């Protein structure tokens, strides 16, 4: 019977890890708790240990390659005589970086046990990797010997180029380096690959699930460095997602848009959010719910331009813009929020975000929005305006909710949390008065009746 | 969070890299065997040496490994090649992350935050950069981070250039970043000295991780 070694999660935000080094070779005896390989994420290394006594039968992902968290990267067998058969079955995989399809095939072949058991092993693997139980026999290789590693295969490439090559399956040996002394640069990998592949990550900072108003008392250190997809002096090709966004942005130039803004007091909304947060409710779900409920009363703002006239969609579907860490953005859609309770809506949103991360959204989950939300509140911006996505009539830009000195109608002065929102709309179908009355009702709902957002 | 006991060592003289590395591994092994053992913090300076992480690219060493002028160590940490020398303050943390947060990304960001606080004490304005772990002043790197971990027990840590010969970095491609410029704290605050920085490093680590320090 063979047991799988999985790519462990070194942090809650990690989606993939790099195999730095296999400390054991196929065929080597391993003891429970012994380090088998080293995985790296950013500047941190983690030893991955065997969760049982046996033999390392197969290495499915070679050192230097990158694998998603949870991916099978190696196989351990209990008895020495099983090594040969497992190796035989995994022949194709051991010499090259396997595709996940091949891996699936492998596990089907080698595992005679029911799926349930695989689950158990997964759990056990986790347990042993993460918890300390028994004394570990230490792995006595003199690591302080710089000359041991593979100096012979001197392919000179920048770390970013190597990462890209690993992700795109480009063979570094076949790439001509354009850098100093033939060093392979990120550009060379992109060129060699023709069409760059985009692996979507949800930007941590762009997470639409909160606005800073919700984190009362938690002062975040301002991040002074920005995101960049290339190095100074480089020109980086657009990835597929960025190209798609470019096309949409360009087509917006044909739409006569206007903007209208509103300042909304969020004191009550923030208090309500604090109460429901422990039940898994996200700020995104609250805002989506508020917008959808208001749109129900203002069908004009949910409409869009078509050649035949003003098109009124059958449903209210709210798209929410989410930035991808490697460029581009995607707009997962919460369908019919008025018919879904707040808790279910929050769960749906979390699921959409998770699946956006692993690029598993179905087309109708990101292309069926009738109205779009863009929230940059988490960066503390006081206002911005958004560009209208094609096929829709309006988009709402949501800024940060900030303590603001407010003059009240009775002449008193107080400090209230104020959030500026800014609606961009297609003037062919939505007029200033439509937008303004929509915002007035949205503000009323958020300022006075946030608890009605529950259902 | 309850306070945890940590053993602290902060020698005044220059320490051998190899000896301190062995010491760290001993404390890490002890914590793996029994998590009631104390955490371990070491703050000091090394003689000139170059260290590589397990995944490091040898191409970033711009001299031959056979060159006996240079001490090179391959160690259990993430990241690319770096160099240590007198005038650079090195801090190692052997911590059981099970008592804090089992999340290496959290830990790296926490260390960046600690370094920014240390430099802030000396009125030096610095920042982290997304995707480039470490601490920066403008486009110059002032502090480097490299972490190893086994069963959530960490090893290695960070180094801050206080007042050192930055020319030594010209022998390598630091952190694998081409044209990476390095900086010294002294260039931004003439009045500091390494003993004072050492004292602040200890104080801020103690506050940030709620340690009761025991000298040994």
Write down the ipTM of this complex. Answer: 0.83
DSSP bridge pairs for B46 = B15
Q: For an interface test with B, which of A51, A132, A154 has the most B Cβ atoms less than 10 Å from its Cβ?
A: A132
Determine contact: B55 vs chain A, CB below 8 A: yes
Catalytic status, residue B149: no
* Beta carbons of A68 and A62 less than 8 angstroms apart: no
Which pLDDT belongs to residue A167? 65
Determine contact: B206 vs chain A, CB below 8 A: no
Q: Do B127 and A41 touch (CB under 8 A)?
A: no
Higher pLDDT among residues B111 and A158, named by residue:
B111
Describe the crossing of helices A283-297 and A432-448 by its angle, rounded to 10 degrees: 130
Which pLDDT belongs to residue B207? 93
pLDDT per residue as tens digits for the range B8-26: 999 999 999 999 999 999 9
Q: Do A132 and B116 touch (CB under 8 A)?
A: no
Which pLDDT belongs to residue A154? 61
Which pLDDT belongs to residue A37? 93
Which pLDDT belongs to residue A448? 94
> Quick one: how far is CA B95 from the chain centroid?
13
Q: Which residues does chain A have with pLDDT short of 50?
A: 95-153, 195-220
Q: Do B107 and A44 touch (CB under 8 A)?
A: yes
With a pLDDT cut of 70, the percent of chain B lying above it is: 99
Which pLDDT belongs to residue A175? 78
Q: How many residues does chain A have?
A: 455
Q: Do B78 and A146 touch (CB under 8 A)?
A: no
Structure pTM? 0.49
Give the number of C-alpha atoms closer than 13 A to the C-alpha of residue A306, restricted to the C-beta side.
Answer: 8
Which pLDDT belongs to residue A111? 35
* Beta carbons of A405 and A353 less than 8 angstroms apart: no
Q: What number of other Cβ atoms are within 10 A of residue A169's Cβ? A: 12
Q: Which residues of B touch A135 (CB under 8 A)?
A: 32-33
Determine contact: B67 vs chain A, CB below 8 A: no
State the Cα–Cα distance between residues B189 and B162, nearest whole angstrom: 10
Dihedral angle of Cα B92, B98, B101, B103, to the nearest 10 degrees:
80
Task: Summarize the confidence of residues B74-83 as an average pLDDT.
Answer: 86
DSSP bridge pairs for B38 = none
């Amino acid at each position: 019977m063979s047991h799988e070694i999985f790519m462990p999660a070194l942090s809650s935000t990690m989606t993939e890890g790099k195999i730095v080094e296999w400390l054991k070779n196929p065929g080597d005896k391993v003891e429970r708790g012994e380090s088998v390989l080293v995985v790296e994420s950013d500047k941190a290394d983690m030893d991955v240990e065997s969760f049982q006594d046996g033999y390392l039968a197969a290495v499915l992902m070679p050192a230097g390659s990158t694998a998603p968290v949870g991916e099978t990267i190696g196989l351990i067998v209990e008895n020495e005589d099983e090594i040969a058969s497992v190796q035989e079955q995994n022949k194709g995989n051991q010499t090259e970086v396997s595709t996940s399809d091949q891996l699936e095939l492998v596990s089907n072949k080698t595992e005679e046990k029911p799926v349930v058991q695989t689950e158990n092993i997964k759990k056990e693997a986790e347990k042993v990797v993460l918890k300390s139980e028994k004394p570990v026999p230490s792995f006595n290789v003199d690591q302080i010997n710089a000359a041991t590693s593979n100096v012979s295969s001197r392919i000179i490439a920048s770390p970013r180029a190597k990462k890209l090559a690993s992700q795109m399956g480009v063979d570094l040996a076949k790439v001509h380096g354009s850098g100093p002394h033939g060093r392979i640069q990120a550009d060379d990998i992109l060129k060699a690959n023709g069409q760059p592949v985009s692996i979507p990550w949800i930007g941590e900072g762009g997470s639409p699930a909160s606005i800073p108003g919700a984190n009362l008392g938690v002062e975040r250190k301002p991040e002074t460095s920005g995101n960049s997809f290339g190095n100074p002096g480089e020109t980086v090709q657009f990835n597929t997602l960025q190209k798609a966004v470019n096309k949409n942005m360009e087509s917006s130039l044909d739409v006569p848009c206007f903007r209208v803004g509103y300042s909304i007091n969020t004191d009550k909304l923030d208090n309500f959010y604090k109460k429901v947060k422990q039940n898994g409710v996200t700020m995104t779900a609250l805002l989506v719910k508020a917008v959808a409920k208001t749109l129900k009363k203002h069908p004009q703002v949910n409409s869009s331009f078509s050649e035949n006239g003003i098109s009124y969609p059958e449903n209210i579907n709210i798209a929410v813009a989410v930035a991808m860490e490697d460029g581009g953005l995607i707009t997962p859609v919460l369908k019919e929020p008025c018919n879904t309770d707040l808790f279910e809506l929050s769960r749906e949103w979390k699921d959409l975000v998770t699946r956006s991360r692993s690029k598993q959204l179905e087309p109708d989950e990101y292309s069926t929005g009738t109205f779009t939300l863009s929230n940059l509140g988490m960066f503390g911006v006081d206002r911005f305006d958004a560009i209208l996505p094609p096929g829709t009539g309006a988009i709402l830009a949501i800024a940060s909710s900030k303590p603001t000195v407010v003059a009240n109608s009775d002449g008193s002065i107080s400090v209230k949390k104020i959030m500026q929102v800014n609606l961009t709309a297609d003037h062919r179908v939505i007029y200033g008065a439509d937008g303004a009355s929509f915002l007035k009702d949205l503000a009323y709902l958020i300022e006075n009746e946030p608890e009605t957002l529950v259902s | 969070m309850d306070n945890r006991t940590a053993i602290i060592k902060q020698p005044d003289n220059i320490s051998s890299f190899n000896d301190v590395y062995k010491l760290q591994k001993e404390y890490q092994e002890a914590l793996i065997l029994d998590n009631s053992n104390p955490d371990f913090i070491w703050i000091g300076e090394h003689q000139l040496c170059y260290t590589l992480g397990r995944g490091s690219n040898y191409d970033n060493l711009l001299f031959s490994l056979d060159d006996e002028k240079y001490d090179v160590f391959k160690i259990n940490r993430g990241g690319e090649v770096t160099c240590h020398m007198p005038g650079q303050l090195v801090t190692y943390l052997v911590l059981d992350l099970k008592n804090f947060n089992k999340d290496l990304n959290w830990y790296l960001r926490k260390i960046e935050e600690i370094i920014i606080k240390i430099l802030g004490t000396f009125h030096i304005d610095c920042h982290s950069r997304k995707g480039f772990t470490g601490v920066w002043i403008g486009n110059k790197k002032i502090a480097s981070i490299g972490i190893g971990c086994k069963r959530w027990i960490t090893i290695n840590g960070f180094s801050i250039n206080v007042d050192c010969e930055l020319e030594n970095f010209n022998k390598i491609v630091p952190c694998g970043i081409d044209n990476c410029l390095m900086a010294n704290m002294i260039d931004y605050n003439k009045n500091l000295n390494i003993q004072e920085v050492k004292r602040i490093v200890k104080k801020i680590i103690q506050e940030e991780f709620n340690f009761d320090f025991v000298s040994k």
